[in-house]
Amino acid sequence: QKEVEQNSGPLSVPEGAIASLNCTYSDRGSQSFFWYRQYSGKSPELIMFIYSNGDKEDGRFTAQLNKASQYVSLLIRDSQPSDSATYLCAVRDPDYKLSFGAGTTVTVRA
Amino acid sequence: DGGITQSPKYLFRKEGQNVTLSCEQNLNHDAMYWYRQDPGQGLRLIYYSQIVNDFQKGDIAEGYSVSREKKESFPLTVTSAQKNPTAFYLCASSMTGKNEKLLFGSGTQLSVL
């Protein structure tokens, strides 16, 4: 079974700091990569997607992809209490299935 | 407004009973998906469909069934063969293509009486 692994949490960061989330995947043929944010009891919402090696920035979020190392990460700069949530890494394989990691729970301390 | 509607929000199942979760989308998306989420865990794929009248098993299809008779509808039946059905069920849809993004409905919490 194809695997998506995320760094274990929970991750606690002070307000204004950088939160760093990591994700590795097993299928070298994976083509696209997504980060979702999920608040407790709610459905996931897409916050970032990346398809090419390198960095992609969107506001306070930066996604980084390294296909050779099969590694994707998410940085949250200037963390806010509203960023407290579970972050899910999702990877699309060549069969177009989207597989999810177990998630990393982030808590931003005021 | 376009979106994905799941109903009901909460559902209770008696032992031996089949129950059906509804999922409707008006986004004109070709692909639809069902995921299951257990507490503190990620999403696991149950079934997915990329075209009307066709669907594929995901990683945990046993004890579940689906149909895709219309593009906008993808109901999930949790059968009595699913012995541990208590979970949060999420329906999603997308256009087809490797870079297309999944959008999710608001979910159905299923519990066993």
Give the pLDDT confidence of B2-29 residue by residue, as tens digits.
Answer: 799 999 999 999 888 999 999 999 999 9
On the question of pLDDT at B41 being above 90, the answer is: no
Contacts of A59 (CB under 8 A, 6+ apart): none
Rounded Cα gap, residues A19 and A30, in angstroms: 25
List of chain A residues whose C-beta atoms are within 8 Å of the C-beta of residue B40: 102
- Rounded to the nearest integer, the mean pLDDT of chain A is 93
Say whether residue B42 is in contact with chain A using an 8 A CB cutoff.
yes
Q: Do A49 and B107 count as a contact with CB atoms less than 8 A apart?
A: no
Please indicate whether residue B21 or residue B40 has the higher confidence score (pLDDT). Answer: B21
Confidence at A1, pLDDT banded by 50, 70, 90: low
- Decide if pLDDT at A96 tops 90: no
Q: Which of A34, A46, A56, A96 should one mutate to test binding to chain B, selecting the residue with the greatest count of B CBs within 10 A?
A: A96
Structure token digits, residue A80: 């806010």
- Residue B76, pLDDT above cutoff 80: yes
- Cα(B6)–Cα(A42) distance, rounded to whole angstroms? 13
